[in-house]
Amino acid sequence: MKLDRLVNVSDYEEAARRRLPKPIFDMVAGGAGDETSMRANRSAFDAITLRPKPFVDVTTRDTSTTILGVPTTMPIMLDPCGYQRMAHRDAELAVARAAGSQGMGYALSTVTSYAMEDVAAVSTGPKWFQLYLPPGDVSETEKLVERASAAGFDALCLTVDTTMRALRERDVRNKVKLPLRMGPAMLMSGAVRPGWAVDFLRGGVGRGNQGFAPKMLSIKAAGSKLSSTMRPVTEADLALVRKLWKGPLVVKGILRGDEVEQLIDRGVDGFVVSNHGGRQLDATPATISALPEVVEAANGRAEVFLDGGVRRGTDVVKALALGARAVLVGRPYVYGLAVGGEEGVRRVIRILRDETENAMGLLGCTTIPEITRDRVRVPA
């Protein structure tokens, strides 16, 4: 694959569609139900317009900022995405290396093929550990949190919107079941994607975050952790996690402001306004529409992030103008990983950073704090 020809995130999506077996591409690209929320994430961004300010010397532009006190080269992070081994054999290791090489933050999912310690060891940028709570008694949660702390993660990110299995109809049609299994349907569709199949078969995988099975089988094993870890997060869980984790705590999957103040009082330091990329409950609002309510409720006492549908540098500046500290991207870097491994992820990151810098300059902003509310017009 000639990566030079892929100039934006949509190009990477199209290339990933051609590279991956259909069930795997659909598993990444798809959403829940009618995929209304997934589309809304995009259309709401499109409806917001930018208001450039002339007569500003934008010869130099600085995209650097801090996220929860940690310096980063850009107000963009990589979202936690499970199942990366299905896109490329180097999975989370490639993603962590690519993010680090650009000084960008990466949130590692609980559902991985490589152990969090191995990923942390190659992460040179800011790193979060995303927590799904293991079932059973709290000792498993304690172990995961202790490991994340010992491995040096900067923040813990508790995902709260996966209270139940989502209804993703592409997966039903493709007979994809989570945990992912290499059944006959998957093998057949893999056969017509030889580039992917060779990569997949050559790859070994590590132990995963909970010390699971060796080599190929750990695809299934790593996946089985997801289904077994999906359980509703209760208020008691939040209190437990807050007690166990000494660093900044982020809650991911918030779409309303009314509980934000109370959560801050209970020790939450950051929120990701997210509908899981439209992959959980369909008919939830576009995240960019929900952002202002959460920012207002946080009232400067917690950092607010946004994900869902960020595909352009112009989306990044729109979210920042509406109060986000930074944005996170999910599918775009998984497409980069599928198409070009570590180098593919690096290129997707560079595209987003370059587009952000370009949008800042044309908008008349030279630093991140200059991206203020007056730079956007939001339709009533």
Kindly state the smallest distance separating residue 369's Cβ from ligand FMN, in Å.
25
Closer to ligand FMN by Cβ: residue 112 or 365:
112
Least Å distance, CB 342 to ligand FMN, is 18
Q: Which is nearer to ligand FMN, 238 or 365 (CB)?
A: 238
Catalytic residue among 147, 276, 279, 375: 276
C-alpha to C-alpha distance for 118 and 126, rounded to whole angstroms: 15
C-beta of 289 vs 364, nearer to ligand FMN:
289
- Cβ neighbours of residue 243 closer than 8 Å, sequence gap 6 or more: none
Give me the 320-359 binding string for ligand FMN, x by CB under 6 A, dash otherwise: ---------xxx--x-------------------------
Residue closer to ligand FMN, measured from CB, 130 or 314: 130
195-234: contacts with ligand FMN (CB under 6 A): none
Binding of ligand FMN by 111 (CB under 6 A) = yes
How far CA 4 is from CA of 161, 205, 364, in Å, comes to: 37, 29, 29
Question: Does the annotation count 276 as an active-site position?
Answer: yes
* 309 is a site residue for ligand FMN (CB under 6 A): yes
Candidate residues 72, 130, 174, 229; the one interacting with ligand FMN per rule CB under 6 A: 130
Angle at 364 between CA 362 and CA 367, to 5 degrees: 110
3-state SS, 326-362, equals: EEEECHHHHHHHHHHHHHHHHHHHHHHHHHHHHHHHH
| Residues in 67-86 at the binding interface with ligand FMN, rule: CB under 6 A | 79-83
Structure token pair of residue 174: 């493709």
Which position among 21, 23, 270, 277 is part of the footprint of ligand FMN (CB under 6 A)?
A: 277
**Separation CA 15–CA 127 (nearest Å):** 28
> Closest separation between CB of residue 269 and ligand FMN, Å?
17
Listed residue (179, 203, 2) closest to 93, CA to CA: 203
Each residue 25-54 as x (binds ligand FMN by CB under 6 A) or -, in order, gives ---x------------x-------------
Name the token pair of 15: 């290339």
Q: Give the separation between CA 15 and CA 222, rounded to whole angstroms.
A: 26
Strands 270-273 and 303-307: parallel
Largest Cα–Cα distance of the chain, in whole Å?
A: 62
User: Of these, 63, 72, 102, 109, which contacts ligand FMN (CB under 6 A)?
Assistant: 109
Looking only at residues 137 through 166 of this chain, which bind ligand FMN when binding is defined by CB under 6 A? 159
For the record, the structure tokens of 152 come out as: 């040096």
Q: Which tokens go with 272? A: 């990701």
Catalytic residue IDs:
276
Site of interaction with ligand FMN (CB under 6 A)? 28, 41, 79-83, 109, 111, 130, 159, 252, 274, 276-277, 279, 307-310, 329-331, 334
